[in-house]
Amino acid sequence: MQRLKIDQDIKTLSEVRTSIANCIKQVHDTKRPLVITQHGKGVAVLLDVQEYEALQEKIEILTDIQTSINQIENGLGVDHEKAREMMLDRVIKGTPKI
């Protein structure tokens, strides 16, 4: 996702209401989010669908990494040699999943 440009990417709710098609085109073309304000405060963000999906994917990966770190810290990890053996067994012998 491109970095927000303060002078271009913040619009009031009334601006968005009157030019929603232009706002959507801007978000799509620039790949930058559009912050929508109401009474001087940010209330919503308009994102391109592909940018939103990319963010979701990154969040999932980071969540998986954090889960892995927590498991290792709690002694639930498997050392490299053991993991290698388990994977080879699954590939060669077709043993059931872990």
- Residues 29-66 pLDDT 10s: 999 999 999 999 999 999 999 999 999 999 999 999 99
Spatial distance between the Cα atoms of 71 and 66, rounded to a whole number of angstroms? 9
Above pLDDT 90, what percent of the chain?
A: 73
Question: What's the N-to-C CA distance of the chain in angstroms?
Answer: 37
- Domains assigned to the chain: 10-48 (3.40.1620)
Residue type, 19: S
Burial of 34 (0-12, 13-18, 19+ CB in 10 A): buried
Mean pLDDT along residues 58-81: 93
